[in-house]
Amino acid sequence: MRRSVVIVGGGPAGLSAARVLVAAGLRDVLVLERNPGAGGVPRFCGHRGWGMLDFGRFWTGPGYAARLVQSAAGAEIRTNASVLALHPGGELEVSTRDGIERVAARAVLLATGTREAPRAARLLPGTRPWGVLNTGAFQEMVHAGLMVPFRRPVILGSELVGFSALLTARHAGIRPVAMVEEGARIRAPWPAGLVARLAFGVPVIAGARILGIEGGARVEALRIARGGREEAIACDGVIVSGRFLPDAAFARASHLGMDEITGGPAVDAGWRCTDPAYFAAGNVLRPARHSGAVAREGMAAARAILRALGAAR
């Protein structure tokens, strides 16, 4: 059976799109999500700061994720379903617990978000001690209550996601000793740096060159250079934030044209990919914006899909 719309990725972009499609009367919308639960990145971020732009409320990440799922009621959300390949005309290959399935739709929305570049890809110098995590892995670990990986880490990077890691750390009783930024100034919008310093007592050090992560079995220090001087910041872990890449390997391997600047699928002003059966929205297009902007983009893409299907009401 060919569905009207299949959405790949059950994060803020995909679920917000599903919400609009269902509200417009589509009864056969399918959301495919590779994780055991839908909701995307916010599922693992226990601090508040989610939902303001799209729901006018201020929730924790898991609370926001639950509302997104609730708001898409009427769409079928299939979890543990990972899209492996895209074929012309809206045909997908999906890996499920029952094996590989083929799914077809008149329109497919790609909303698979981003992934973070690992330490190796960032060419961070130094030894290889335990205690170096990217923000996503750190937040999942804390959220799952698995373990507290360190007590006094340095956060490397100062964009919004680095500040989100700071909030998660405080939530878990972890006290970061500093945020270190390689660029000349803090990347997150004002007043994030002020909040870090004044509300959390965490100094933000910009314009630092990373000389190395030091330690034996565990991280012991981050060595940096700034203003012509070297210094070692004593810490027991490093949270590496930023350097997001669109989670779009399956699109890159497909017939779709890619945007060589963002690394995501190429789209026109109406979120349409080079194959007109495919659309894309959210952080898969340009990592990494905040959830409210992404949710709104998912909704706008859904309206474009409705127009394309001639189903707008």
Ligand X SMILES: Cc1cc2nc3c(=O)[nH]c(=O)nc-3n(C[C@H](O)[C@H](O)[C@H](O)COP(=O)(O)OP(=O)(O)OC[C@H]3O[C@@H](n4cnc5c(N)ncnc54)[C@H](O)[C@@H]3O)c2cc1C
Q: Which residue has the tokens 């190429």?
A: 266
Q: Which residue has the tokens 């599903």?
A: 18
Q: Give whichever of 219 and 284 is closer to ligand X, judged by the CB atom.
A: 284
Q: Give whichever of 62 and 207 is closer to ligand X, judged by the CB atom.
A: 62
Q: How far apart are CA 214 and CA 201, in angstroms?
A: 24
Q: Give whichever of 171 and 226 is closer to ligand X, judged by the CB atom.
A: 171
> At its nearest, how many Å lie between ligand X and the CB of residue 75?
14
> At its nearest, how many Å lie between ligand X and the CB of residue 161?
4
Residues that bind ligand X (CB under 6 A): 8-14, 32-35, 40-42, 45, 49-50, 82-83, 111-114, 135-136, 139, 161, 164, 247, 250, 282-283, 288-292, 294
Q: Give whichever of 97 and 313 is closer to ligand X, judged by the CB atom.
A: 97
> At its nearest, how many Å lie between ligand X and the CB of residue 310?
26
Q: How far apart are CA 306 and CA 313, in angstroms?
A: 9
The strand order across the sheet containing 204-205 reads 132-134, 237-240, 153-156, 178-180, 204-205
> At its nearest, how many Å lie between ligand X and the CB of residue 211?
26
Residue 191: cis peptide before it, omega within 30 degrees of 0: yes
> At its nearest, how many Å lie between ligand X and the CB of residue 137?
9
Residues in Cβ contact with 178 at an 8 Å cutoff, skipping those fewer than 6 apart:
154, 155, 202, 203, 204, 205, 233, 235
> At its nearest, how many Å lie between ligand X and the CB of residue 23?
18
> At its nearest, how many Å lie between ligand X and the CB of residue 112?
4
Q: Give whichever of 150 and 250 is closer to ligand X, judged by the CB atom.
A: 250
Q: How far apart are CA 110 and CA 244, in angstroms?
A: 17
Residues in Cβ contact with 208 at an 8 Å cutoff, skipping those fewer than 6 apart:
180, 181, 182, 224, 225, 226
> At its nearest, how many Å lie between ligand X and the CB of residue 47?
6
φ, ψ dihedrals at 70, nearest 5°: -60, -40
Q: Which two tokens stand for residue 67?
A: 């509302």
Q: Give whichever of 231 and 259 is closer to ligand X, judged by the CB atom.
A: 259
Question: How far from the centroid of its chain's Cα atoms is residue 45's Cα?
Answer: 11
Query: What angle is formed at CA 88 by the lines to CA 83 and CA 94, rounded to 5 degrees?
Result: 15
CB of 238 closer than 8 Å to CB of 248? no
* DSSP category for residue 109: E
> At its nearest, how many Å lie between ligand X and the CB of residue 104?
16
Q: Give whichever of 215 and 292 is closer to ligand X, judged by the CB atom.
A: 292
Q: Give whichever of 39 and 131 is closer to ligand X, judged by the CB atom.
A: 39
Other Cβ atoms within 10 Å of 189 Cβ, number: 11
Q: Give whichever of 160 and 221 is closer to ligand X, judged by the CB atom.
A: 160
